[in-house]
Copies of this chain bind each other. A is one copy, B any other.
Amino acid sequence: SIVGIGPGQHSWRTPEASALISEAEELVGYGLYIDILGPLAIGKKRSDFPLGGEEARCRYALEEAGKGKNVALICSGDAGIYAMGALVFELLDRNENEMGVSDAAKRIEVQCTPGVSALQGAAARAGAPLGHDFCTISLSDLLTPREDIIRRLHAAAEGDFVIAFYNPVSKTRRTLLAEAREILLKYRPNDTPVMLASSLGRPEEEVRYRRLDELEVDEVDMLTVVLIGSSNSRLANLGEGARMFTPRGYARKIDGDLS
Protein backbone atom coordinates (compact mmCIF):
# COMPACT_ATOMS: atom_id res chain seq x y z
CA SER A 1 0.00 0.00 0.00
CA ILE A 2 0.99 3.62 -0.50
CA VAL A 3 0.04 5.53 2.63
CA GLY A 4 -0.19 9.27 3.25
CA ILE A 5 0.04 9.96 6.99
CA GLY A 6 -0.83 13.67 6.92
CA PRO A 7 1.34 16.65 7.85
CA GLY A 8 2.52 15.55 11.26
CA GLN A 9 -0.07 15.31 14.01
CA HIS A 10 -1.69 11.95 14.65
CA SER A 11 -5.19 13.36 14.71
CA TRP A 12 -4.90 14.24 11.01
CA ARG A 13 -4.04 10.66 9.98
CA THR A 14 -7.06 8.83 8.56
CA PRO A 15 -8.27 5.53 10.03
CA GLU A 16 -7.65 3.88 6.64
CA ALA A 17 -4.00 4.97 6.71
CA SER A 18 -3.59 3.65 10.24
CA ALA A 19 -5.25 0.34 9.30
CA LEU A 20 -2.99 -0.17 6.27
CA ILE A 21 0.08 0.50 8.43
CA SER A 22 -1.15 -1.95 11.07
CA GLU A 23 -1.64 -4.68 8.48
CA ALA A 24 1.77 -4.20 6.88
CA GLU A 25 4.72 -6.46 7.67
CA GLU A 26 7.30 -3.93 6.54
CA LEU A 27 7.35 -0.13 6.51
CA VAL A 28 9.42 1.68 3.89
CA GLY A 29 10.04 5.41 3.87
CA TYR A 30 12.05 8.40 4.96
CA GLY A 31 13.02 7.67 8.58
CA LEU A 32 11.37 10.74 10.11
CA TYR A 33 7.97 9.81 8.70
CA ILE A 34 8.21 6.33 10.19
CA ASP A 35 9.31 7.79 13.54
CA ILE A 36 6.16 9.93 13.63
CA LEU A 37 4.04 6.76 13.59
CA GLY A 38 5.11 5.97 17.15
CA PRO A 39 3.44 2.83 18.53
CA LEU A 40 1.97 1.86 15.15
CA ALA A 41 5.46 1.08 13.83
CA ILE A 42 6.57 -1.09 16.75
CA GLY A 43 7.47 -4.67 15.96
CA LYS A 44 7.52 -4.16 12.18
CA LYS A 45 10.52 -4.43 9.93
CA ARG A 46 11.41 -0.92 8.82
CA SER A 47 13.58 0.20 5.94
CA ASP A 48 14.62 3.81 6.15
CA PHE A 49 15.73 5.65 3.07
CA PRO A 50 17.29 9.11 3.02
CA LEU A 51 15.70 12.20 1.47
CA GLY A 52 16.74 12.08 -2.18
CA GLY A 53 16.53 8.29 -2.24
CA GLU A 54 13.03 8.34 -3.68
CA GLU A 55 13.62 6.04 -6.63
CA ALA A 56 15.56 3.48 -4.57
CA ARG A 57 12.83 3.60 -1.91
CA CYS A 58 10.02 2.88 -4.39
CA ARG A 59 11.95 0.15 -6.20
CA TYR A 60 12.75 -1.55 -2.92
CA ALA A 61 9.13 -1.41 -1.74
CA LEU A 62 7.83 -2.77 -5.05
CA GLU A 63 10.34 -5.64 -5.19
CA GLU A 64 9.67 -6.65 -1.58
CA ALA A 65 5.94 -6.61 -2.32
CA GLY A 66 6.70 -8.70 -5.40
CA LYS A 67 8.04 -11.40 -3.06
CA GLY A 68 4.61 -11.61 -1.48
CA LYS A 69 5.17 -9.28 1.48
CA ASN A 70 2.62 -6.75 2.68
CA VAL A 71 4.66 -3.54 2.41
CA ALA A 72 3.49 -0.03 3.31
CA LEU A 73 5.31 2.84 1.63
CA ILE A 74 4.98 5.73 4.09
CA CYS A 75 4.65 9.29 2.77
CA SER A 76 3.88 12.51 4.57
CA GLY A 77 0.76 14.47 3.62
CA ASP A 78 -1.17 12.86 0.76
CA ALA A 79 0.86 10.10 -0.90
CA GLY A 80 -0.50 11.15 -4.30
CA ILE A 81 0.44 14.83 -4.02
CA TYR A 82 4.15 15.45 -4.67
CA ALA A 83 4.96 12.19 -2.95
CA MET A 84 5.83 8.63 -3.96
CA GLY A 85 2.51 7.70 -5.60
CA ALA A 86 3.32 8.81 -9.14
CA LEU A 87 6.84 7.36 -9.06
CA VAL A 88 5.51 3.94 -8.03
CA PHE A 89 3.17 3.86 -11.03
CA GLU A 90 5.88 5.16 -13.33
CA LEU A 91 8.13 2.24 -12.31
CA LEU A 92 5.25 -0.25 -12.67
CA ASP A 93 4.47 1.11 -16.15
CA ARG A 94 8.02 0.51 -17.46
CA ASN A 95 9.31 -2.78 -18.78
CA GLU A 96 12.36 -4.34 -17.17
CA ASN A 97 14.56 -3.29 -20.10
CA GLU A 98 13.39 0.32 -19.64
CA MET A 99 14.56 0.42 -16.01
CA GLY A 100 11.17 -0.72 -14.75
CA VAL A 101 10.63 -3.22 -11.97
CA SER A 102 10.59 -7.04 -12.16
CA ASP A 103 7.65 -9.02 -13.52
CA ALA A 104 6.92 -10.23 -9.99
CA ALA A 105 6.69 -6.64 -8.76
CA LYS A 106 4.45 -5.75 -11.70
CA ARG A 107 1.89 -8.29 -10.54
CA ILE A 108 1.34 -6.82 -7.07
CA GLU A 109 -1.85 -5.11 -6.04
CA VAL A 110 -1.28 -1.50 -4.98
CA GLN A 111 -3.70 0.25 -2.66
CA CYS A 112 -3.41 4.03 -2.43
CA THR A 113 -4.95 5.90 0.46
CA PRO A 114 -5.47 9.65 0.49
CA GLY A 115 -4.27 11.88 3.31
CA VAL A 116 -4.47 15.45 4.50
CA SER A 117 -1.89 17.39 2.52
CA ALA A 118 0.31 19.99 4.22
CA LEU A 119 -1.43 22.77 2.31
CA GLN A 120 -4.75 21.69 3.81
CA GLY A 121 -3.34 21.66 7.32
CA ALA A 122 -1.96 25.16 6.74
CA ALA A 123 -5.25 26.35 5.25
CA ALA A 124 -7.22 25.08 8.26
CA ARG A 125 -4.94 27.04 10.59
CA ALA A 126 -5.42 30.18 8.49
CA GLY A 127 -9.20 29.95 8.19
CA ALA A 128 -10.24 29.18 4.61
CA PRO A 129 -7.68 30.55 2.12
CA LEU A 130 -8.46 27.68 -0.31
CA GLY A 131 -12.13 28.64 -0.36
CA HIS A 132 -12.11 29.26 -4.09
CA ASP A 133 -10.13 27.94 -7.11
CA PHE A 134 -6.53 27.19 -6.23
CA CYS A 135 -3.44 25.52 -7.64
CA THR A 136 -0.28 23.98 -6.32
CA ILE A 137 3.14 24.56 -7.89
CA SER A 138 6.41 22.94 -6.94
CA LEU A 139 9.32 25.37 -7.20
CA SER A 140 11.87 22.57 -7.34
CA ASP A 141 13.80 22.69 -10.61
CA LEU A 142 15.51 19.40 -9.86
CA LEU A 143 12.94 17.35 -11.77
CA THR A 144 11.01 20.03 -13.68
CA PRO A 145 12.65 22.35 -16.25
CA ARG A 146 12.90 25.88 -14.93
CA GLU A 147 11.11 27.33 -17.96
CA ASP A 148 8.10 25.08 -17.27
CA ILE A 149 7.90 26.42 -13.72
CA ILE A 150 8.07 30.04 -14.92
CA ARG A 151 5.37 29.37 -17.53
CA ARG A 152 3.19 27.84 -14.83
CA LEU A 153 3.69 30.82 -12.53
CA HIS A 154 2.51 33.19 -15.27
CA ALA A 155 -0.51 30.99 -15.97
CA ALA A 156 -1.44 30.80 -12.28
CA ALA A 157 -1.13 34.58 -12.03
CA GLU A 158 -3.27 35.16 -15.13
CA GLY A 159 -5.92 32.77 -13.79
CA ASP A 160 -5.89 34.54 -10.40
CA PHE A 161 -5.64 31.24 -8.56
CA VAL A 162 -4.78 31.01 -4.88
CA ILE A 163 -1.35 29.35 -5.05
CA ALA A 164 0.28 26.87 -2.69
CA PHE A 165 4.01 26.54 -3.21
CA TYR A 166 5.55 23.17 -2.58
CA ASN A 167 9.35 23.00 -2.21
CA PRO A 168 9.52 26.82 -2.03
CA VAL A 169 13.28 26.76 -1.40
CA SER A 170 16.02 24.22 -0.92
CA LYS A 171 19.49 24.45 0.57
CA THR A 172 20.96 25.38 -2.77
CA ARG A 173 18.01 27.03 -4.55
CA ARG A 174 16.62 30.28 -3.23
CA THR A 175 15.99 32.37 -6.32
CA LEU A 176 12.75 30.93 -7.73
CA LEU A 177 10.58 32.10 -4.83
CA ALA A 178 11.77 35.69 -5.28
CA GLU A 179 11.16 35.38 -9.01
CA ALA A 180 7.67 34.02 -8.33
CA ARG A 181 6.94 37.03 -6.08
CA GLU A 182 7.99 39.45 -8.82
CA ILE A 183 5.84 37.69 -11.44
CA LEU A 184 2.79 37.66 -9.16
CA LEU A 185 3.21 41.33 -8.21
CA LYS A 186 2.61 42.21 -11.87
CA TYR A 187 -0.89 40.73 -11.59
CA ARG A 188 -1.94 41.08 -7.94
CA PRO A 189 -2.13 43.93 -5.42
CA ASN A 190 0.95 44.60 -3.27
CA ASP A 191 -1.06 43.82 -0.15
CA THR A 192 -2.23 40.38 -1.32
CA PRO A 193 -2.08 38.23 1.82
CA VAL A 194 0.54 35.50 2.05
CA MET A 195 0.62 32.80 4.69
CA LEU A 196 3.79 31.10 5.86
CA ALA A 197 3.24 27.98 7.96
CA SER A 198 6.07 25.97 9.47
CA SER A 199 6.15 22.65 11.33
CA LEU A 200 2.42 22.13 11.00
CA GLY A 201 0.79 19.99 13.63
CA ARG A 202 4.00 19.80 15.68
CA PRO A 203 4.70 21.63 18.95
CA GLU A 204 6.99 24.14 17.22
CA GLU A 205 4.28 25.10 14.68
CA GLU A 206 4.48 28.71 13.57
CA VAL A 207 2.10 30.69 11.36
CA ARG A 208 2.89 34.14 9.93
CA TYR A 209 1.11 36.46 7.52
CA ARG A 210 2.85 38.84 5.14
CA ARG A 211 1.94 41.16 2.28
CA LEU A 212 3.03 39.83 -1.10
CA ASP A 213 5.43 42.76 -1.59
CA GLU A 214 6.99 42.04 1.80
CA LEU A 215 7.53 38.32 1.29
CA GLU A 216 11.18 37.69 2.20
CA VAL A 217 12.81 34.52 0.92
CA ASP A 218 14.97 34.37 4.07
CA GLU A 219 11.85 33.77 6.15
CA VAL A 220 11.09 30.58 4.24
CA ASP A 221 12.75 27.23 4.81
CA MET A 222 12.27 23.77 3.34
CA LEU A 223 9.57 22.90 5.86
CA THR A 224 7.46 26.01 5.25
CA VAL A 225 4.17 25.92 3.36
CA VAL A 226 3.68 29.16 1.39
CA LEU A 227 0.09 30.09 0.46
CA ILE A 228 -0.39 33.13 -1.80
CA GLY A 229 -3.83 34.67 -1.87
CA SER A 230 -5.74 35.48 -5.06
CA SER A 231 -6.78 39.07 -5.69
CA ASN A 232 -9.95 38.22 -3.71
CA SER A 233 -8.29 36.73 -0.64
CA ARG A 234 -8.59 38.73 2.54
CA LEU A 235 -7.03 38.92 5.96
CA ALA A 236 -9.64 39.51 8.67
CA ASN A 237 -8.71 40.73 12.12
CA LEU A 238 -11.12 38.85 14.33
CA GLY A 239 -11.18 38.67 18.11
CA GLU A 240 -9.19 35.46 18.03
CA GLY A 241 -6.54 36.92 15.72
CA ALA A 242 -5.86 37.16 12.00
CA ARG A 243 -7.68 34.78 9.67
CA MET A 244 -7.16 34.47 5.93
CA PHE A 245 -9.95 33.45 3.58
CA THR A 246 -10.92 33.54 -0.08
CA PRO A 247 -14.63 34.31 -0.58
CA ARG A 248 -16.52 32.41 -3.21
CA GLY A 249 -18.78 35.12 -4.43
CA TYR A 250 -21.37 34.91 -1.69
CA ALA A 251 -20.71 38.63 -1.17
CA ARG A 252 -22.70 39.38 -4.30
CA LYS A 253 -25.50 37.23 -2.94
CA ILE A 254 -25.36 38.67 0.58
CA ASP A 255 -25.30 42.20 -0.81
CA GLY A 256 -28.29 41.44 -2.99
CA ASP A 257 -26.60 41.65 -6.39
CA LEU A 258 -27.67 38.05 -6.95
CA SER A 259 -31.13 36.78 -6.26
Using CB atoms and an 8 Å cutoff, list the residues of chain A in contact with chain B.
2, 6, 9-16, 19, 54-55, 78-83, 85-94, 99, 106-107, 109-110, 112-117, 120-121, 123-125, 127-138, 142-144, 148, 151-152, 154-156, 158-161, 234, 236, 238-240, 243, 245-255, 258
Contacts and interface: CB of A to CB of B under 8 A. Distances in A.
Contacts of A135: 133-136, 156, 159, 161
Contact of A86 (B54, B90, B128): B128
A75 to B, nearest CB: 10
Per assembly, the copies of the chain total 2
A90 B137 CA distance: 27
Contact of A114 (B12, B99, B142, B154): B12
Which DSSP category, helix, strand, loop or mixed, fits chain A's interface?
Answer: mixed
Given A15-B13, A238-B92, A248 B133 contact: no
Nearest to A163: B135
Contacts of A250: 54-55, 86-87, 90, 143
Contact of A248 (B78, B86, B130, B159): B86
Nearest to A12: B14
Contacts of A142: 249, 258
Given A114-B120, A142-B249, 6 more contacts: A78-B116, A80-B131, A94-B254, A135-B161, A152-B161, A154-B159
A255 B106 contact: no
A16 B16 CA distance: 14
A11 B6 contact: no
25 contacts: A14-B14, A80-B131, A81-B120, A86-B128, A86-B250, A89-B131, A89-B245, A90-B254, A91-B254, A93-B234, A93-B236, A93-B245, A99-B254, A99-B255, A106-B238, A107-B239, A132-B138, A135-B135, A135-B136, A135-B159, A143-B248, A143-B258, A144-B248, A154-B159, A156-B159
